[in-house]
A and B are shown apart, each in its own frame.
Chain A
Amino acid sequence: MSRRLWALTLVGALLLSGCWSRREINDLGAVIAMGIDRTEGGKLSVDLAVAQPGAAGAGKGQAGGQGSQRQSRVILHREASSFMEAVRRAELASPRRIALDHIQILLLGERFAAAGVDALLDPLLRSPQMRLSTRLVMVQGVTPQELMETNPLMRSTQAEALRELESTRAGLMISLKEFFIARSSPHISPILSTIRLRPHMTGEGGGPSYEVELSGAAVFKGDRATLFLDQDEVRTAIWLLTDAREAVVSAPCPDEPERKIAVRITRAERRIRPIWDGRQLSFQVQLEAHARVLEMQCHIVIETPDQLDVVEDSVRKELTTKVIRLVHRLQAAEADPFGFGERVRAKLPAVWQQAGNERWFKTWAKTPVHVESIIGLVHLNMSTEPPSMKVDPSKD
C-alpha cells in the first residue's frame, strides 16, 4: 500500500510541474533585429525591432482576422550611455517583456562603426540570450532606425529580408562568432558586410517599399571601420574568406574585351600557403573552381577542348587579377581580414615570432602574394554557342 501511495504521489507531482516565473508567449516581445548607432552627442542609440506575431503571419500590414491595419514590427528607440541601459529603458516602456533570444540580425550604424564597436561587443558576448550565429551588418547612408522603419520588398520585416539575402549566398554575411574571433585576435582585421537602402517604387501595400542591398564591406582596424570595399571587391573577397560556391564571375571575352562571359561557380576550393625561403616571407594563393557558363557575349563556338581552354583562361586571368588587386588594397591599408597572418602563426611559428604578433600588419603590408587560379568550365549549360553565331554551311 505504501509503495502504491508513493507511486501515486510521484505521478501526481508530475501534474504540478511548471516553470518558475513562467512567461506566456503573449507576454514576450521577441526582438528580431537590433540597431545600434551613436548620437551626435556620443550616446548609444539602440533600436529594437519587436515582432508582432499576428501581423507577421497575416502578411505585411494586415492583422490576422481583425481587418485592421497593424504593423508587422514595432521599433523601440532609446538612447543611453550604455547598451544595457538603453535596453532597460526600452523595457520600461514596453507592455511585453523584451526577449533578445530571437535576434536574427544586428545593424551597426556608420557613426557607431567609425567611433568603435567595442562598447557593444562585451554585453553581447556576456549575454546568455545572444546567439553567436546572429548576423552582423553595417548600415550605410541611413541610420539603423531609418532602415528598420522602412517597408521591405516581398517580406514583412527588413530583418527577414536580410536573412533571405544570406541564403542566396550573393554576399558576405558575417556572424557574431566570426566577428568575435577576429576582434579577439590581435592579427585578424574584422570585416562586416555593408548594406544600403534603395527605394523601390512598386509600393506594396500603398506605401513605398525599399530594397536592402548588400553594398560592400567594411574592414576594421581595431574596433573602428576604416576601409570600405565595393560590391565587386566583396565578390572577390568571398573567394579568400568563405565559400565561393554560387559566386558569379564575369570576365572579358578572349579577343573582345568589351564583351563578357559570365560563369557560376559550382565548386570552389582555396589554399593559402605561407612560404619562408630563409629570408623572405611570401604567400601562395591557389584558387580552384568548377563552373558552368551562364552567359557568353563572345563570338566563340565551344566545340573542342582547346576552345574551352581559351575561355577558361580568360576567366582565370580575370579572377587572378581581381584577387591581386584586392590583396594590394588591403596591404596598403595594413588590414588582414582573410587570416593570412593566422596561417603564418599556425604553419611557421618560428617566423611568426620574428615577424608576427604585434608586428604582423606591418609585415603583411610588404609580403608578396602569388595568386594562381584554376577554373574548370565543366558545364556549358543548354547551348554551346550564342544564337547570333552564324553557322558556315561550307563546313558541312
Chain B
Amino acid sequence: MREAQISSQQFALLLCLFNSFAQVLILPQPMAKAAGTDAWLAGLAGIALGTVPISIPLGLLARRHPTMGFGEVAEFALGKWPGRLALLLVAAISLFLTSLVIRNIVDFSAIALLPGTPSLVIGLLFALSTCYAAYAGSEVITRLAVLVIMLTLVGMSVVIVGTLAEVDLTRIQPWFVHGISPIMRGAWPTTGWFAEFLVLGPFIFQINRPAKATKSMLWGNFLAGLLLTILVALSILVFGVQLTEKFTYPVYALSRQISLGQFLERLEIIVITIWLSGMLVKAASTLWAATCCLTWSLGLPQWKWLPLLLGAVAFWLSLLWHSELEQAWFSTHYWTPYMLPFFFGLPLLMLLGSYWRMRHRKGVSA
C-alpha cells in the first residue's frame, strides 16, 4: 500500500537534484577529456540514453498499479522470491550509492572546504545527518529537495552572472567536428550515473497522480541534464577544454572565478553550501530507498532504527576506498558497464511481468 504522498512536481525536482549534484562535481573532467569541445552535448546525450529507457517502463508501471508501492509491484510482477531478490539488489545498490555520496563529500571537503578537519569526522557528521533525514521519510526529503533546488537556481544565477565576463565563445567551438563518436565517449560514463535513479523507485510509487509519473521523470531528468550541460559548457567557455580536463573539480574552480563588479568575490562558499545540502538530500533519498527495499525484501517490520543501522554500514563502506582516484576511476569506468544492464533490465522485466500477470489473471477470471 502507498503510504506518504508526494506530488509529481516535487518528485521531478528531487530527481533533478538526484541526477545532477554529484554529477556536476565529478563528471565534467572525464567528459571534457573524452568529448573535447562537445563535452557539454555529452551531458544531454547521457541523460537521454540513461533515463528514457527507465522512465517509460517505470511510469507505465506506476500507472498500471496506482495503489501499490514499489515493493508490492516488484513482488507482483516478478513473483514473490525473484521480486524480493530484485528488491534486495536495489537496497544494496542504494546503500552503495549512499556510501559513494558520503565519500564524495569527505574527499571534496578535505580538499576544498575543511582541509584541517579529519575526514572521519566529516563523514560521520554527514552520515548522521543523512540518517536523520532518511528517518524523517520521503515527504520530508522531497520538500527539502524543493528548497535546495530553489537555492540552486539562485546559486546558478550567481555563477553564470559572476563568470560571464570571462566567457570566450571560441573556446567551445567547433561542434561535431569528429561526428557523434566523441559525444558518445563523453556520454558513456554519465549514462550509468543517470540510470541509477532507478533506486528512487519507492518514491515514484508514492507520486499522488501516478498518470503523471512518466512526465515527472522525463522533466526531472531533463532539468538535471540541462544543469550539467550549462555548467560543463560554462567551464569550457571560461577555462577552455585543455584546462577543464586538468581540474579535479572544474565546476568548483568555476565557482572560485565568480567576481561581481570586482568587489564581490570569494562566493564559492555559498555554492558549496548549496551543493552540500543537495548531496545530503541525495544521500538521504538513497538511504531511505535502501531502508524501504530492505524492509520489503526481508519482510521486516517498520523499525525506526534501521536507517541508522544502514547509515552506519554506508559510512563503513565509504571508508573502504583506498583513495579518491580509486573511487573516481570505478565510478567513471566500471559503474556504467556493470550496472546499466540491471538498471535497464529491472524496470523492463517488471513491466513485462506486470503485463503477463494481468493477462494471466484476466485469463483465469474469464
Contacts and interface: CB of A to CB of B under 8 A. Distances in A.
A184 B118 contact: no
A346 B174 contact: yes
Contacts of A131: 256
B240 A133 contact: no
Interface string B282-301: 00000000000000000000
Interface stretch (B109-117, B311-319, B352-360): B109-117
A21 B116 contact: yes
A131 B258 CA distance: 11
B243 interface: yes
Given A20-B114, A128-B112, A132-B256, A184 B170 contact: no
Contact of A184 (B114, B115, B243): B243
Contact of B174 (A125, A177, A349): A349
A366 B253 CA distance: 38
B259 interface: yes
B243 A180 contact: yes
Given A131-B256, A133-B259, A181 B114 contact: no
Contacts of B170: 339, 342-343, 345-347
Nearest to B175: A349
Binding site secondary structure of chain B = mixed
Nearest to A185: B242
Interface in B216-271: 239-240, 242-243, 246, 253, 256-257, 259, 265
Contact of A349 (B112, B118, B177): B177
A136 B170 CA distance: 24
Which label, helix, strand, loop or mixed, suits the secondary structure of the A interface? helix
Contact of A128 (B111, B117, B118, B246): B111
Interface residues of B, number: 24
Given A181-B243, A184-B242, A128 B115 contact: yes
B116 A181 contact: no
A181 B118 CA distance: 34
Interface in A139-184: 177, 180-181, 184
Contacts of B115: 128
A346 B240 CA distance: 12
A133 B265 CA distance: 10
B121 interface: yes
Contacts of A181: 239-240, 242-243
A180 B238 CA distance: 12
Nearest to B239: A181
Nearest to A343: B170
Interface in A313-358: 339, 342-343, 345-347, 349
A339 B259 CA distance: 24
A19 B114 CA distance: 9
B181 interface: no
B173 interface: yes
Nearest to B238: A177
Nearest to B248: A126
B257 A177 contact: yes
Given A128-B112, A184-B246, A349-B177, A21 B117 contact: yes
A309 to B, nearest CB: 34
A356 to B, nearest CB: 12
Nearest to B173: A346
Nearest to A129: B115
A223 B239 CA distance: 19
B240 A125 contact: no
A247 to B, nearest CB: 19
B110 to A, nearest CB: 10
Contacts of B239: 177, 180-181
Contacts of B265: 133
Q: Which of B114, B115, B117, B174 has the most CB of A within 10 A?
A: B174
Given A128-B111, A177-B239, A180-B239, 14 more contacts: A19-B114, A20-B114, A21-B116, A132-B256, A133-B259, A177-B257, A181-B239, A185-B242, A343-B170, A345-B170, A346-B170, A346-B173, A346-B174, A347-B170
19 contacts: A20-B117, A20-B121, A21-B116, A21-B117, A128-B111, A128-B112, A132-B253, A132-B256, A132-B257, A133-B259, A181-B243, A185-B240, A185-B242, A339-B170, A342-B170, A342-B171, A345-B170, A346-B170, A347-B170
Interface of A: 19-21, 125, 128, 131-133, 177, 180-181, 184-185, 339, 342-343, 345-347, 349
Closest 6 CB pairs of A and B: A21-B116, A346-B173, A20-B117, A184-B242, A346-B170, A349-B177
